[in-house]
Homo-oligomer: A and B are copies of this chain.
Amino acid sequence: MLRISEYSAMAEAAIREISLPSGNLDALYSPITYGMQAGGKRLRPTLLLMAADAFGNCPEKAIAAAVGIEMFHNFTLLHDDVMDKSDVRRGRPSVHAKWDDNTAILSGDTMLTLATKKISEVDDSILRPVLDTFNDQALRVYEGQRLDMDFEKMDEVNLDEYIEMIKDKTGALLGGAAKIGALIGGASAEDAEKMYEFGMMLGVAFQIEDDYLDTFGNADTFGKPIGGDINNNKKTFLMVKALANGGSNAQALKAALSMAPSPTKVKTVTRIYETMGMPAVSKAEVAAYSSKALAAIKKTSLSDDRREAFRRLIEKLIGRTK
């Protein structure tokens, strides 16, 4: 196994080499290049390459699929930014802000088909399970995005609903990446399923940590302004869990959430979360899902040193602000 940074570098290099038509079709394809070259952690293709290497010593065979999974992720970002009216993505104008909504919609559609093509660049013998895994995770991502949008209009969401939503929206894609990589590496169906479970649990841990960082993180390392979720009354782990606790703190939280967006609102809500001990509760939940991810890896037939690589990935990801 290589170091995690080496898998990311492989993914990054392949993404830089993507060659798309130009000329009179620039208006369709250049927003795709722009979207793909925004950088980011390249978590999904990194996980896919690691899984392929762990089971088959063949990260090279998985390069096209790795590019495909990252292109799928970026397609969802193009469309999500239109739906959420987010004008900034990784410190730059989002595609719909730089061009227009129609461009983000149509170039996003194109990315989904290009992603499917890339994912399909595998041996005929595994084309069907790889394609099925890809399509099924895609449906879960759409379902998660739909639930996330629906939650915005609901006063309260219970914790189970919230966890189901992030399993769909964030977990399924990481699960799919790990499973597709494993299949390319030649893993058995059982091992591939355990890798899906690993990615899914990692995704849930990652999302709860992300929710935590949006309130308690450091703006410089987090990459987004702190408190955005609070100002948008976004249903996060912190909010859902705190409201579920009930009591006078939950009442105070409800009152604070009804305030208009402002630095005071962010400060007030943050303080209530602290009073309720939410940072520790959140950390415990992240740790619990990280353990579930680790448990899935332990159920595979992988050797100890290969399992260790995935343990380091969890650590790198969850401890990414330390």
A residues whose Cβ falls under 8 Å from a Cβ of B:
24-25, 27-28, 79, 82-83, 101-102, 105-106, 108-110, 112-114, 116-117, 120, 124, 127-128, 131-132, 135, 138-139, 142-143, 145-147, 149-150
Q: Which residues of B contact A147 (CB under 8 A)?
A: 24-25
Say yes or no: A106-B28 contact (C-beta < 8 A), given A120-B131, A131-B120. Answer: no
Q: How many copies does the complex hold?
A: 2
Pairs A-B, 4 closest by C-beta atoms: A28-B146, A83-B102, A113-B138, A110-B142
Can you list 19 A-B pairs, Cβ within 8 angstroms, ordered by A?
A24-B147, A25-B147, A27-B149, A28-B143, A28-B146, A79-B109, A82-B101, A83-B105, A83-B106, A101-B101, A102-B149, A113-B135, A113-B138, A116-B131, A120-B132, A120-B135, A124-B124, A124-B128, A127-B131
Measured between C-beta atoms, what is the minimum distance from A94 to chain B in Å?
Answer: 14
Q: Which residues of B contact A132 (CB under 8 A)?
A: 117, 120
Q: Which residue of B lies closest to A76 (CB)?
A: B109
Q: Which residues of B contact A106 (CB under 8 A)?
A: 79, 83, 142, 145-146, 149
Q: Are the CB atoms of B110 and A139 closer together than 8 Å?
A: yes
Measured between C-beta atoms, what is the minimum distance from A204 to chain B in Å?
Answer: 19
Measured between C-beta atoms, what is the minimum distance from A241 to chain B in Å?
Answer: 20
Measured between C-beta atoms, what is the minimum distance from A293 to chain B in Å?
Answer: 26
Give 5 new A-B contacts, CB below 8 A, not counting A79-B105, A120-B131: A109-B112, A110-B139, A112-B112, A113-B139, A120-B128
Measured between C-beta atoms, what is the minimum distance from A219 to chain B in Å?
Answer: 29
Q: Which residues of B contact A128 (CB under 8 A)?
A: 120, 124, 127
Measured between C-beta atoms, what is the minimum distance from A104 to chain B in Å?
Answer: 9
Q: Which residues of B contact A28 (CB under 8 A)?
A: 142-143, 146
Q: Which residues of B contact A146 (CB under 8 A)?
A: 25, 27-28, 106
CA distance A108 to B112 in the complex (A): 12
Q: Are the CB atoms of B143 and A25 closer together than 8 Å?
A: yes
Q: Which residues of B contact A127 (CB under 8 A)?
A: 124, 127-128, 131
